[in-house]
Amino acid sequence: MTAALDGLDDRQREAVTTLRGPVVVLAGAGTGKTRVITHRIAHGVDTGAYTPNRVMAVTFTAKAAGEMRGRLRALGVEGVAARTFHATALAQLNYFWPTLAGDTMPQIVDNKVRLLAHAADGIGIAPDTATLRDVASEIEWRKVTMRSVEQYAMDRPHGIGRLSVQRVVDLHRAYEKLKDERRQIDFEDVLLACAGMLEAEPHVAKAVHEQYRHITVDEFQDVSPLQHRLLELWLGDRRDLCVVGDASQTIYSFAGADSRYLLEFANRYEGATSIRLETNYRSDPGVLDVANALMRGRPGALHLRAAVGGDAARAIPTVTDYADDEAEARGVARRIVEQVRSGVDPREIAVLYRAHAQSAEIARALADAGIAATVLGGRRFFDLPEVRQALMELRAATVAPLETGFLDTVRDILRTRGLTDDPPEAGGALRDAWEARAAVLRLAEEAPDGTTLRAFTDDLLARARAQDDPALRTVTLATLHAAKGLEWDHVHLVGLAEGQLPIGYATTFEQIDEERRLAYVGITRAGRTLSLTWARGSRERRPSRFLQEIGSGTLRAGDGRSRGANPNRVAGGARSPRGGQHLRPLR
């Protein structure tokens, strides 16, 4: 028994204590997968099965890797290589490249679109920026799916924008040629080069295998063919591999992610242990009813069960239709005002949508209602001018003897920059600036006793480098992609209409399935309440087919309270790809 086993349920404990051999943990949303990963490593270290510096823990974002390192530190484990795929590959390239090539590594392209524009100019074409972005995405897809330019031309025989397929291929080649001439590599080349190095240099592969004896991979449903190949090279002929993932949260297929690696893991690795985590510690039963109904029968779908709350606590999620997008935005804003007035912390409220363009109407409605909001994926907290200015002045204050206490100094400096006791009544830029300064003050108020101004500013600079942004006291606006891995007590999922979710260009079965998984990700971000909304608009949109798939047994009609809106009108002719039946009104 070790401290790493404390507070685990039976299935989590099974995963944590299964330290050897290939292991696949099928972990549903909110079932504690990061807890399982970190406690499994800590238990391995505690029992002597693992040596920390011989453990490789791989994930997909720098933030997730940082959280993993932080949790391991809290469990008393230091020295584990918890990084992204790219950071791991880059570290290995930086280490071995000078010896192998007798030179420093090539520089990494900092702006693929700009380099593409130069390559396009070199072959006498001038695509617009949007087309260049799409070509950049296609280059990334080609590389992560391990296709040559020739294979790409056969598998994607279509043009982009005004570029014919031949000109697209010409641009791919021109981009690669220019990159080589400038002695640069791009983000995907980092993985390709690392894989190539391990394949071509047996002594390098041997060194890596000796260094890393135990490998764990998070979010395994998002692994691409290239990442999977690199993982195989890291693993070699050994079997100490643990992968964790949820096929229902595969939302990056367009970028090369392939959930089959997760679903077929037990077949690929003979004797693999498979463990299912289906007890959800995030959401109330009503939310999980909706999530389970949406994913019923899909490949790899897990059936989530709430850890707390019986039928008496089952708050039924709502679905509301509105006359148009403006009415929908104002209806959602009105509901958020009610939540805030009832005592809900704005940080526990999120509005989620499929596309960035949907955020403007929501942001405007919230601002008009006096509710501050932050768009996830916008400027980072420590890049905000108000925060940078405050940090600069706080840093300058550390060189002079303080006549007041640490906290008073922070408060005085922020007041000179515009922080008042009460926030501006309206939303907009002034409210955003106030919220940023208030967040800095809150960090100071939460600092441990005895913290000095110097230590506080050092901590802020360290957080800035680690991209560890504090949560502002604002409502969060986010796309479904950006929301993955996050959670809020109260979620408003907007735009559940055909053409919005699923998005209009999703036409194939696989594309619609990806949209369904996006909706599932949005739904499972909610802890206590879930509101689904859609707007008919001037073109008489139909409600999303996903509402049909969820069914009326798990949803109740909301109150649209807008002219022309009928909360019970969820019929509208949407057809299910499974049964082809019209939606029934929700009673």
Pairing of strands 184-185, 214-217: unpaired
- Which element (helix H / strand E) includes 306? strand 305-306
In terms of Cβ atoms closer than 10 Å to its own Cβ (0-12, 13-18, 19+), residue 180 is exposed
Q: CA gyration radius for the chain?
A: 26
Q: CA-CA distance, 557 to 69, in Å (whole number)?
A: 44
- pLDDT beyond 80 at 118: yes
- In DSSP terms, 55 is beta-bridged to 214
CB atoms within 10 A of CB 146: 16
- pLDDT beyond 50 at 566: no
Q: What is the pLDDT of residues 160-171, one digit of tens each?
A: 888 999 999 999
Q: CA-CA distance, 501 to 498, in Å (whole number)?
A: 6
Pairing of strands 279-280, 349-353: unpaired
Give the model's confidence band at 402: pLDDT under 50 very low, under 70 low, under 90 confident, else very high.
low
* Secondary structure string (H, E, C) spanning 136-158: HHHHHHHHHCCCCHHHHHHHCCC
Q: CA-CA distance, 427 to 364, in Å (whole number)?
A: 9
Nearest to residue 394, comparing CAs of 468, 449, 469, 464?
A: 464
Q: CA-CA distance, 3 to 81, in Å (whole number)?
A: 21
Q: What is the pLDDT of residues 483-511, one digit of tens each?
A: 998 999 999 999 999 999 998 888 899 99
Q: CA-CA distance, 524 to 486, in Å (whole number)?
A: 9
Give the model's confidence band at 574: pLDDT under 50 very low, under 70 low, under 90 confident, else very high.
very low
**HSE of 581, CA atoms in CB hemisphere, 13 A:** 8
303: CB partners within 8 A, 6+ apart = 278, 292
Q: What is the pLDDT of residue 1?
A: 62
Q: CA-CA distance, 369 to 62, in Å (whole number)?
A: 35
Q: What is the pLDDT of residue 379?
A: 67
Nearest to residue 352, comparing CAs of 494, 481, 519?
A: 494
Has 560 been labeled as part of a binding site? Answer: no
Q: What is the pLDDT of residues 277-326, one digit of tens each?
A: 999 999 999 999 999 999 999 999 999 999 976 554 567 899 999 999 99
Strands (E), 75-210: 81-84, 107-108, 184-185
Q: What is the pLDDT of residue 360?
A: 86
Please say whether the beta carbons of 157 and 165 come within 8 A. Answer: yes
Q: What is the pLDDT of residues 545-554, one digit of tens each?
A: 999 889 877 8
Give the model's confidence band at 372: pLDDT under 50 very low, under 70 low, under 90 confident, else very high.
confident
CA angle 552-553-554, nearest 5°?
95
Has 405 been labeled as part of a binding site? Answer: no
Q: CA-CA distance, 113 to 181, in Å (whole number)?
A: 17
Q: In this structure, what token pair is assigned to residue 545? A: 């087919």
Q: CA-CA distance, 24 to 178, in Å (whole number)?
A: 42
Instruction: Quickly list DSSP for 231-298.
Output: HHHHHTT---EEEEE-GGG---GGGT--THHHHTHHHHSTT-EEEEE-EESSS-HHHHHHHHHHHTT-
Q: What is the pLDDT of residues 341-366, one digit of tens each?
A: 999 999 999 999 998 889 889 988 99
Q: Is the dihedral of CA 366, 495, 516, 480 positive or negative?
A: negative
Q: What is the pLDDT of residue 204?
A: 96
Q: What is the pLDDT of residue 428?
A: 59
List the CATH code of the domain at 3-89+191-277.
3.40.50.300
In terms of Cβ atoms closer than 10 Å to its own Cβ (0-12, 13-18, 19+), residue 389 is middle
Has 28 been labeled as part of a binding site? Answer: yes
Q: What is the pLDDT of residue 466?
A: 67
- pLDDT beyond 90 at 113: yes
List the CATH code of the domain at 285-377+474-557.
3.40.50.300
Has 32 been labeled as part of a binding site? Answer: yes
Has 522 been labeled as part of a binding site? Answer: no
- pLDDT beyond 70 at 580: no
Q: CA-CA distance, 87 to 107, in Å (whole number)?
A: 15
Q: CA-CA distance, 105 to 93, in Å (whole number)?
A: 8
Has 29 been labeled as part of a binding site? Answer: yes
- pLDDT beyond 90 at 43: yes
Residue type (1 letter), 460: L
Nearest to residue 222, comparing CAs of 231, 213, 214?
A: 231
Q: CA-CA distance, 391 to 457, in Å (whole number)?
A: 7
Q: What's the average model confidence in pLDDT over 19-45?
A: 95
The mean pLDDT of the chain is 87
In terms of Cβ atoms closer than 10 Å to its own Cβ (0-12, 13-18, 19+), residue 68 is buried
Q: CA-CA distance, 246 to 71, in Å (whole number)?
A: 21
Has 390 been labeled as part of a binding site? Answer: no
Q: Is the dihedral of CA 184, 188, 190, 196 positive or negative?
A: negative
Instruction: Quickly list DSSP for 520-587.
Output: HHHHTTEEEEEEEEEE-TTTTPPBPHHHHHH-GGG-EE----STT--TT---TT-B-TTT-PBPPPP-
Q: What's the average model confidence in pLDDT over 180-200?
A: 95
What pTM does this model have? 0.81
Q: What is the pLDDT of residues 97-109, one digit of tens each?
A: 999 988 889 999 9
Q: What is the pLDDT of residues 176-186, one digit of tens each?
A: 999 999 999 99
Q: What is the pLDDT of residues 424-481, one digit of tens each?
A: 765 556 767 787 888 888 888 888 888 888 888 888 888 787 667 776 788 999 999 9
Please say whether the beta carbons of 526 and 287 come within 8 A. Answer: yes
